[in-house]
């Protein structure tokens, strides 16, 4: 990943550095907004007007991002507009916000996305020559919102469901299902809003590289009926994870199979997720191999020093039995996310040494961010249901 330092712009007639004349408004801007702007060399210029502010900073979301480590000081122009231009950013989607005299403020010129357990600004930095997640002239599936009542939580819940382009035209066909989970601090909208999963699947299916499938995305937080509710950012907790497992098994899967034309058996049911969602995937699938046979872990917080006899309830203890049940076990991580890459690689190698085949994918140059997970899905989906 590029190491990002910051170039400052003065808006009063002289500049230290500025966005190139070929810069374009980011595709993630609200309609008509000229900033943020992305240059052809992927430098990004941010602006916000705050004439009464004493200090304004750009705050990229987290340390693992393609914009740099924040907070980053911005420079005030004569008209009260604050500006900063970054060196070339890592391509992909990045969260950010401004700190105006210490107060976190979203960019009014940018769309917002649910991340970091709140609505946050986001910017799309294009990757040259890459269009696997672009909107193309191919048949498009539908992204549907499905509300259902979960007995586990005694509450209404919302799932986002992708159906392939042919779903409504081919009324007799049934389809395999991928349950696809987001990360901590995000929600069920993440894979379509930030991850562009529907376009990734549209393009793969149109090219004949992936089987038509239904994709189900649910919020990875659940609180059992009568228990105290934890905030979204605390989704890693054992109680939340346990309750979510019960939601998936006892509420979500039965609802999906009753509502959509699914192939309702383990050979046609997959689960994958990123970060927290990848951890939930391993927790749920490895404990219930009677229900899942395709498993994907993207940038998951994996255990060090894996003991195959005891890990995940002993799911790996009998290599031959595991291999017979599981059609695909897949791990992915970005080469710039050291905390996730090394444990994932170690787990993959340990399993292979024990006779358990698995696929390990490294996303070049990306960290704990959506470009890693877009690439993960693009590599993972074609292997499903073959």
For residue 126, report the phi and psi dihedrals to the nearest 5 degrees. Answer: -70, 145
Q: What integer pLDDT is reported at residue 8 of this predicted model?
A: 31
Omega cis (within 30) before 363: no
Query: Mean pLDDT over residues 73-78, rounded?
Result: 98
Fold classification of 142-383 (topology level): Rossmann fold (3.40.50)
Burial zone of 105 (CB within 10 Å; 0-12 exposed, 13-18 middle, 19+ buried): middle
Residue with tokens 């031959």: 320
Q: What integer pLDDT is reported at residue 51 of this predicted model?
A: 97
Average pLDDT over all residues of the chain: 91
Q: What integer pLDDT is reported at residue 17 of this predicted model?
A: 40
Separation CA 295–CA 329 (nearest Å): 5
Rg (CA), the chain: 22
Q: Taking Cα atoms as reference points, which of 328, 329, 374 lies closest to residue 203? A: 374
Per-residue HEC secondary structure of 266-300 comes to HHHEEEEEECHHHHHHHHHHHHCCCCCCEEEEECC
Q: Taking Cα atoms as reference points, which of 281, 212, 288 lies closest to residue 250? A: 288
Burial zone of 242 (CB within 10 Å; 0-12 exposed, 13-18 middle, 19+ buried): middle
Query: Mean pLDDT over residues 36-48, rounded?
Result: 97
More confident residue, 212 or 240: 212
Q: What integer pLDDT is reported at residue 240 of this predicted model?
A: 55
Q: Taking Cα atoms as reference points, which of 96, 93, 166, 95 lies closest to residue 130? A: 93
Domain ranges of the chain: 7-125, 142-383
Q: Residue 95 belongs to what H/E stretch?
A: strand 92-100
Length of the chain: 386
pLDDT in tens, 76-116: 999 999 999 998 999 999 999 999 999 999 999 999 999 99
Fold classification of 7-125 (topology level): Immunoglobulin-like (2.60.40)
In angstroms, what CA-CA distances link 8 with 11, 22, 89? 10, 18, 15
Predicted TM-score (pTM) of the model is 0.91
């Amino acid at each position: 990943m590029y190491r990002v330092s910051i170039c400052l712009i003065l808006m009063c007639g002289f500049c230290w550095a500025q966005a190139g004349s070929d810069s374009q408004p980011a595709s993630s801007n609200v309609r008509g907004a000229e900033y943020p702007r992305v240059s052809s060399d992927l430098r990004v210029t941010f602006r916000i007007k705050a004439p009464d502010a004493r200090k304004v900073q750009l705050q990229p979301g987290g340390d693992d991002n393609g914009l740099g480590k924040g907070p980053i000081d911005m420079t005030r122009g004569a008209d009260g507009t604050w500006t900063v231009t970054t060196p070339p950013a890592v391509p992909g989607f990045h969260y950010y916000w401004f700190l105006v005299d210490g107060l976190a403020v979203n960019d009014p010129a940018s769309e917002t996305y649910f991340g970091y357990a709140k609505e946050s600004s986001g910017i799309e930095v294009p990757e040259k020559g890459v269009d696997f997640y672009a909107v193309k002239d191919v048949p498009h599936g539908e992204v549907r919102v499905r509300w259902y009542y979960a007995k586990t939580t005694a509450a209404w819940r919302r799932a986002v469901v992708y159906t392939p382009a042919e779903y409504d035209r081919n009324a007799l066909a049934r389809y395999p299902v991928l349950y696809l989970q987001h990360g901590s601090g995000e929600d069920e909208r993440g894979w379509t809003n930030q991850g562009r999963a529907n376009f990734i699947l549209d393009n793969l299916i149109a090219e004949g590289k992936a089987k038509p499938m239904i994709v189900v995305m649910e919020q990875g937080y659940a609180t059992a009926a009568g228990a105290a509710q934890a905030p979204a950012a605390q989704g890693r907790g054992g109680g939340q994870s346990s309750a979510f497992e019960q939601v998936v098994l006892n509420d979500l899967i039965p609802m999906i199979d009753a509502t959509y034309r699914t192939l309702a058996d383990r050979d046609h049911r997959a689960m994958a997720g990123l970060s927290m969602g990848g951890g939930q995937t391993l927790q749920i699938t490895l404990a219930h191999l009677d229900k899942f046979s395709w498993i994907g872990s993207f940038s998951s917080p994996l255990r060090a020093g894996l003991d195959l006899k005891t890990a995940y309830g002993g799911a790996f203890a009998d290599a031959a039995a595991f291999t017979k049940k599981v059609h695909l076990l897949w791990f992915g991580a970005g080469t710039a996310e050291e905390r996730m890459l090394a444990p994932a690689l170690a787990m993959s190698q340990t399993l292979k040494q024990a006779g358990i085949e698995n696929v390990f994918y490294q996303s070049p140059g990306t960290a704990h961010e959506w470009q890693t997970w877009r690439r993960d899905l693009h590599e993972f989906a074609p292997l499903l249901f073959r």
